[in-house]
Amino acid sequence: MEAVIDTNVLVYDTVKDSAYHEDAEEKLSALRRWVVPTVVLEEFTIVLLQLRIGKEFIREKLLEILQNDRVEVASPTRQHFLDSVDAVSKENISFKRLNDKLIISIAKARKLPILTYDREMRKELEKLNIGSARAKK
């Protein structure tokens, strides 16, 4: 199975004492291919910095992800941005949600589920008829 990976999955997989570490690790291991949007890598780095995780550990973790043969890094296109800006405007929500909209746009274009622990995103995926590689929570 292939899936687009949301930031929270990478965080839970990385932080060994997190509530969903084992589940995230298991779900990622079961995937044949991970599609990781560039925005997810950026958010992942920011979250690890906010958790006061050391620079060298972050570097090693990013390299581990980037050098994994099962990982495809996906860059959003102009159309992904246009669709995401349009969605934020139409739904009258904060532009803080633009990253989520970009992740959804990439998944939608590739016809792939999103592996996420974000309840709000999973509800939205149901409405849009986009699969969610069900994570606990």
Q: Tell me, what CATH number does 41's domain have?
A: 3.40.50.1010
pLDDT one digit per residue (tens) for the chain, 137 residues: 999 999 999 999 999 999 999 999 999 999 999 999 999 999 999 999 999 999 999 999 999 999 999 999 999 999 999 999 998 899 898 888 899 999 999 999 999 999 999 988 888 888 777 765 554 54
pTM of the model: 0.88
Q: Which residues of 23-60 are buried (b: 16+ CB within 10 A; e: fewer)?
A: bbeebbeebeebbbbebbbebbbebbeeeeeeeeebee
Q: Which domain holds residue 79?
A: 2-134
Our count of domains for the chain comes to 1
Q: How many residues does the chain have?
A: 137
CB 107 within 8 A of CB 115: no
